[in-house]
Structure 1
Amino acid sequence: MPTTPEGGRVTAITPQRRTPDRLNIFLDGAYAFSLSTALVADEGLAPQQELSAAGVAALLAADTFSKATDAAIRLLAVRPRSERELRDRLRRKEYTPDAIAAALEKVRGWGYLDDIEFARFWVAQREAHRPRGQRLLRYELAQKGVDGDVIIATIAEAEIDETAAALALARARLHTYRGLDPVVVRRRLGAFLARRGYGYDVIGPTLGTLLGELYDLNDGLAAGDH
């Protein structure tokens, strides 16, 4: 763990060459630490100012909080995230627990972090781009740390038609099994739908409908014979 610099007199404040929005702080003629330009301005930090050890620690904590908040905003700009997901990402960036907690509170207060809205986003995106059964959706949201009651309410609110979605997925997949024995096709399609989170109460009727439409039990796949 890096040690916190002792206090001293600010003798110089210079911009960093590679990071223009950060400033190098020199105490008693030697480089001590760096801070964001915004924080230096907010704190009114200037040469000849005396800083105690406690004052230095407070500045560094505020700077870490600012960096953690900026990182959280960048992550949320890519896509909505659950609170657990965002916390885990910030931990991997090695921000302190206090900085992470403060950053999460900040973005939550801005309305950028909301597990209910995240769950709605996740379900809508899955339905639009990668449909799957409710069982798998529940598992995915639980892995993201979303509360169980929120998961149940969100999926119920979405009114997902599992039968229609499973049938569409199976239809799109069917061409890869062209010419195979119907028993093999049934087994493979069933396994595919199960991996997508559908239960047998959906898989069974879906396979019955699809194979009833497209197969002649003696000759195999009859698609294209219409």
Structure 2
Amino acid sequence: MLHKITALTLQKKNRQRINVFLDGEFAFGLDRLVAGWLHTGQEISDERIAELKTADASEVAFQRALHLLKFRPRTESEIRLRLLKKSISPDDVEEVIERLKRNQMLDDRRFTIEWIENRSALKPRSRRALEFELRQHGVDQEIIQDSLAEVEDEQLAYQAAVRQVRKYQDFEWSEFRIKLARYLNQRGFQYDTIRDVTNRIWNEIHETESTPQT
């Protein structure tokens, strides 16, 4: 059955959507990109209407994903979960994810590398803590392991200690050791790493090659 488009109007609350009127009555709304080829007086079939609605659902899902990516990079898992929570069909969700990947807007490996680099520069923490954080974002374990392959805990701990040590540099050795060790422990570092870095930092501050006996 054919229907005649009698009007196309912008929606008042969302200027990115078009109201489609068929045979003198409101029929449905479409994203502007989907409605781009329609014009008043055009006749469309029920099959074409179904295709337009399918394309619209896909475009709505894609725009939701773009909105999420405006705030920060996301992983495939994060995009998938957020879209499914919006009652978007699994098929549309997977189509959106593939479209984002084709356009290089979604890349778990790049996300992981950037996460590690940012953490190392701003808030250094242990490999174990980084791995936990990345798993929380839904990154595949193989990608995590590959990305952390050349990351050394001692260097991460040293970076973390350097950022904090000015608060402790006037302390006596026993208090210095306790304070810095606690700080590094809270960031997931192991005892041996904490001991070595604490000794190294103390020696650098006091320009000595040995730490006091405890």
Pairwise same-fold verdict (TM > 0.5): yes
The equivalent of 2:140 in structure 1 is 147
Which of the numbers 106, 113, 117 marks the counterpart of 1:113? 106
2:183 is the counterpart of 1:192: yes
Look up the equivalent residue of 1:106 and give its one-letter code.
R
The equivalent of 1:96 in structure 2 is 89
* Distance (Å, rounded) in 1 between the aligned partners of 2:182 and 2:54: 52
Look up the equivalent residue of 1:15 and give its one-letter code.
L
2:58 is the counterpart of 1:65: yes
* Distance (Å, rounded) in 2 between the aligned partners of 1:180 and 1:147: 43
The equivalent of 2:8 in structure 1 is 13
Any idea what the Cα deviations from partners look like across 1:44-77, whole Å, max 9, x if unmatched? 464452442x544432221121122123234335
1:9: Cα distance to partner? 4.6
Look up the equivalent residue of 2:135 and give its one-letter code.
A
The equivalent of 1:49 in structure 2 is 43
1:187: Cα distance to partner? 3.1
The equivalent of 2:127 in structure 1 is 134
1:184–1:31 CA distance, 2 compared to 1 (3 A): farther
Alpha-carbon contact 2:134-2:144 (below 8 Å) kept: yes
* Distance (Å, rounded) in 2 between the aligned partners of 1:151 and 1:195: 21
The equivalent of 1:221 in structure 2 is none
CA RMSD across the alignment: 3.0
2:39 is the counterpart of 1:39: no
1:94–1:79 CA distance, 2 compared to 1 (3 A): same
Task: Give structure 1 stretches of 5+ with no counterpart.
Answer: 1-6, 219-226
* Distance (Å, rounded) in 2 between the aligned partners of 1:122 and 1:213: 29
1:70–1:207 CA distance, 2 compared to 1 (3 A): same
1:93: Cα distance to partner? 4.0
Any idea what the Cα deviations from partners look like across 1:3-29, whole Å, max 9, x if unmatched? xxxx95533221223433321012343
* Distance (Å, rounded) in 2 between the aligned partners of 1:194 and 1:59: 56
Alpha-carbon contact 2:120-2:159 (below 8 Å) kept: no
Look up the equivalent residue of 2:43 and give its one-letter code.
Q
1:98: Cα distance to partner? 2.4
* Distance (Å, rounded) in 2 between the aligned partners of 1:120 and 1:178: 33
1:30: Cα distance to partner? 2.7
Look up the equivalent residue of 1:210 and give its one-letter code.
I
Alpha-carbon contact 1:136-1:197 (below 8 Å) kept: yes
Give the TM-score taking structure 2 as reference length.
0.79
1:202: Cα distance to partner? 1.0
- SS at 2:200 equivalent: helix
* Distance (Å, rounded) in 1 between the aligned partners of 2:196 and 2:127: 17
The size of the alignment, in residue pairs, is 208
1:179: Cα distance to partner? 6.4
The equivalent of 1:3 in structure 2 is none
- SS at 1:24 equivalent: strand
- SS at 2:83 equivalent: helix
1:195–1:46 CA distance, 2 compared to 1 (3 A): farther
- SS at 2:30 equivalent: strand
